[in-house]
A and B are shown apart, each in its own frame.
Chain A
Amino acid sequence: MNWDIFIGRFHPLLVHLPIGIFILGYLFEVLLRFGFKKLIGSRKTIVLTYSLGFFFGLLAALTGWLLSFSNDYGLDSLSNHKNMGFVALVVMLLVIIYQIKGAKTNAKLKLSGSTLAIILISITGHLGGNLTHGDSYLTKYGPNFFKSNSNYLIGDFTDANTDSLYIYPSIIKPILLNKCFACHNSKDYQGGLNLDNFGNLFKEANHSTPIVAGDPDKSELLRRLSLPKDDEKFMPPREDGFNYTDIQVLRYWIENGADSLTKFNSETMSKELIALLNRDYGLDFRVKPYYEKVKSDSLDVDLFREVQNSKFRISYLGENNYLLDVEFKGDSITKEQIHVLNKVSNQITFLKLSSSKLSAHLIKEMNEFPHLTRVDLSKNSLDSTTTTSFLLEHPNLESINLNNNDIDKAALEQILELDNLLRVYIWNTRITEEEKSSLSENYSNVDIISEFKFDKVTKAKSVFEQQNEE
């Protein structure tokens, strides 16, 4: 039982009475001033109404004073409201006295006093409203010029480099500013929480700590956001709650140290969080292809030309990606040409040596290609042993084209062990359809591709044809 707070909480119920009644009295006074004497009667009507307003004003002030002990509100904005409330009350009283005692003829001066009281009441009411609803409540949905600077947009991440995105400033801070800042700022630190200062997130307020770095379950902020909506402690009380994505981002950030410089790391993020961020913020944390992660320098122009002049088509992957895409354009490749290729082996990621009469002997001349992700060796009549030993030296391979080579099941089995392999082409090799399907079952992460054949189709019948048959 806590009598003062119990009575105090009648404050919101009572505050509207003095405002309404006093305004009514003011209306009477204006009408009287402009000659509606018949309607209003004597000035006594006005005095009576004002007195009634004052009485309820006293009650509101009393309950408000009791409520101020409850510690639920920020001290600065509370005291503004409180002081303004008492000033308004005093002025109201003076207005009433002046209405009774003041010179009968000076209606103009009387009206000015009442106008002052009305202004003070309005200000008090507005401050009180800000106290409970937050100071952006009134203007949030208004036209832009009218708004206080209180609506924060989360940035456009279309071109953001996801490797270098600080979680707190880019996502969490804007959300806190939007949803919490109105009631938790340096003027109005309700519940003792002031979000003006990053450090305050980690300071105890009202016997609990908003954020405990590394421990989401002990973080009061996260707990409050995740409560049932009808719970008294649910935050934010009057706004829409935090959405699921934002809560997950907050949780991830807390788990990973809750530093203002904590970044997203796709290795530690759950698949769910990756998908959520992609859906809600257009942030793409899906694993980049290997060839987009490797950094290398551009080639010497002469070397580039030398490769070109040795019957290779050579190109960089992109303007700032100097990995190479190389294709042999001649009919049969020579040892010398392979030696030229070897000069740029460190940078080749796509290599096409299809129909190049590449032999087992020549393949042994080839360097290791540390960044090789895609290789096309099709139409070369290569044997299993040479091919496998070459391919197994290239752990980054994602796609291997072995069409029209002398490859058997045992070789393919070895090749399928490559960690990063996604696709392998085995059309016109020694591998049979049965062998292929059994291997496909065992290596479900690799697409083993061979000749495609359609199933037999029957001519479709239209609805009319079907109806006619029935």
Chain B
Amino acid sequence: MKDHHHHHHKPISRKDFLSKATLGLGAISMASLINPLNAFGSTFGSLKGPHFAPKAKRVIFLNMIGAPSQLDLFDYKPVLTKMHGQELPDSVMGNRVTGTVAKQATKPVVRPLYNFKQHGNSGMWMSDLLPHMSQITDEICMINSMYTESVQHEPAQMFTHTGSEIPGRPTIGSWVSYGLGSENENLPNFIALMTKGNEGGSTRLLSSGFLPAEYQGVQFRSGKDPVLYLSNPPGVTGDIRREQLDYLQKLQNQNYDNLDDASIKSKMAQYEMAFRMQTSVPEVMNIENEPEYIYELYGEDSKKPGTFASNCLLARRLAEKGVRFIQLYHGGWDHHSNLPKQIPKRCQEVDQASAALIMDLKQRGLLEDTLVVWGGEFGRTSFSQGQLTKDNFGRDHHPDAYTMLMAGAGVKKGLTYGATDDFGYHITKNKVHVHDLNATILHLLGLDHEKLNYKYQGRRFRLTDVHGNLVKDILS
């Protein structure tokens, strides 16, 4: 008898739903709305909270998808200028060559196309391509000694997000959401914003993997309908929806009395959450009331919905509302060729907005407990991919050394951490693996990366797998 009931109320699993719905991006948000394993809101009440006193309460992660060239933006290498056009010495190259350039006859060193200057009290080097970021170097911690495992985009992105190249593990936003719980019962705890027309990231990067689907990232879209299927259908008013939910609640309560199944309660909590989001989402996504000087701060683009700048502004609004993890995605950094023409465009799109976000958070006091991370999935080579002509070249993928930026709660300001060799090819000092970075982000949030785990298929999983060392040197 009991089994019979159980069968009856077996919820649609996330996997079933996604495979049947084939709705792409929207499926994600919808899945988290109907998933029954939800503990949001008041059903279960108690949140887990941090292991120890946190420095940061939330993270805004600015993903530069495609991997920006660290050699043209951050890691200043005068030797590249000196040796421009000459063959990269074999002693530097070593044995490892990626498939894409293995057959290339020559591998000439390429200089950074734009000048570098030192900025701020810290004397941090930055390219002229980032004139706004250059003005806030004293807020930034630049890690020039990042390295990762994969040389391909998708696995490397997956690795940065989940600590595994193969999809299926929970993404960092889900881990944090799972570990810390929510500070705002009217909004999802983990939200992603993608640049319209230049998304870069895929929704796979928002997957909660084997964690309950309530911890999945919800993509907010620009324009009229930020969360798909959230609005009432035409002809259905808020009152009608309320009445419907109230009646449903009665039925479900009866069900609950019979079955004593906690998932019924949490399913109802999800419905209620969706109902509240019908009000809270349009409110937080409506940036029309932002004063003119704020648009000025973020730059012209910020008025156009769906741009990176507009998303940065939204990210600040979401942070103000207490959203725990906000992922921004901006693609188009994969400059195998035509780098001189492409990279200025990307910089133009992100430079001012990224810097503005950090400083807007700061002037509001939000940088006290918000961590901003900026970077791609790996770096790029110091030699040219394809032919190096008078005014054109490209750079290939390079996972052995690249740059990430951090700013905000708990991170040392104006620090340039780690170093690479004269060619920016190998790390020479203070290596920081992706697992180390993730362990450090969790630490800043008050989470011990070795303790934050989830039992699945008979063993406990962590974001950092069995790796990860806290990068103590960058903590303030």
Contacts and interface: CB of A to CB of B under 8 A. Distances in A.
A188 interface: no
Contacts of A327: 183
Contacts of A374: 368
A123 interface: no
A238 B40 CA distance: 66
A464 interface: yes
Contact of B54 (A313, A318, A427): A318
A327 B344 CA distance: 43
Contacts of B362: 449, 452
Contact of B114 (A313, A399, A403, A463): A463
A338 B299 CA distance: 41
Given A291-B53, A374-B368, A315 B363 contact: no
Contact of A423 (B128, B297, B368): B368
Interface in B329-380: 340, 344, 352, 355-356, 359-360, 362-365, 368
B391 interface: yes
A408 B182 CA distance: 37
Contact of B49 (A316, A449, A457, A458): A316
Listed residue (B49, B365, B446) with the most chain A CB atoms within 10 angstroms of its CB: B365
A331 to B, nearest CB: 13
Contacts of B472: 282, 284
A77 interface: no
Given A399-B368, A403-B365, A317 B114 contact: no
A399 B54 CA distance: 16
B113 A462 contact: yes
A318 B49 contact: yes
Interface stretch (B129-137, B234-242, B420-428): B129-137
Interface string A289-326: 10110000000000000000000010111111101000
Contact of A452 (B113, B297, B322): B297
A323 B352 CA distance: 38
B170 to A, nearest CB: 21
Contacts of A449: 362-363, 365
A323 B446 CA distance: 14
A289 B364 CA distance: 22
B248 interface: no
A463 B54 contact: no
A454 B365 contact: no
Contact of A378 (B49, B135, B365): B365
Nearest to B340: A462
A319 B115 contact: no
Nearest to B81: A463
Contact of A315 (B47, B51, B391): B47
A446 to B, nearest CB: 14
A285 interface: no
A401 interface: yes
Nearest to A291: B53
Nearest to A158: B470
Interface residues of A, number: 38
Interface in B102-126: 111, 113-115
B241 to A, nearest CB: 24
Nearest to A323: B53
A463 B115 contact: yes
Contacts of B229: none
B51 A319 contact: yes
Contact of A454 (B111, B128, B132, B183): B132
B209 interface: no
Given A452-B360, A463-B111, A425 B365 contact: yes
Contacts of B49: 315-316, 318-319
Contact of A457 (B131, B340, B391): B131
B50 interface: yes
A425 B409 CA distance: 16
Interface in A421-451: 423, 425, 427, 449-451
Contacts of A376: 365
Contacts of A318: 49-54, 446
B290 to A, nearest CB: 14
A90 B51 CA distance: 73
A454 B391 contact: no
Listed residue (A401, A453, A454) with the most chain B CB atoms within 10 angstroms of its CB: A454
Contacts of B51: 318-319
B364 A464 contact: no
Interface string A156-171: 0000000000000000
A39 interface: no
Contacts of B368: 374, 399, 423
B297 A317 contact: no
A292 B297 CA distance: 36
Interface string A319-359: 11101000100000000000000000000000000000000
A13 interface: no
A425 B363 contact: yes
B135 A455 contact: yes
A103 interface: no
B352 A321 contact: no
Contacts of A463: 111, 113-115
Interface in B375-409: 390-391
A164 B294 CA distance: 50
Contact of B52 (A313, A321, A453, A457): A321
Given A284-B472, A462-B114, A317 B50 contact: yes
Given A291-B53, A318-B49, A318-B446, A454 B114 contact: no
A299 to B, nearest CB: 13
A403 B320 CA distance: 14
A282 B297 CA distance: 41
A460 interface: yes
Listed residue (A451, A461, A463) with the most chain B CB atoms within 10 angstroms of its CB: A463
Contacts of A378: 364-365
Contacts of B131: 457-458, 460
A316 B34 CA distance: 31
A421 to B, nearest CB: 13
A55 B22 CA distance: 98
Contacts of B322: 313
Nearest to A329: B184
A303 to B, nearest CB: 15
Nearest to B365: A401
Given A425-B364, A460-B127, 6 more contacts: A284-B472, A317-B52, A452-B360, A458-B131, A460-B129, A464-B391
5 contacts: A318-B52, A399-B365, A452-B363, A457-B135, A464-B391
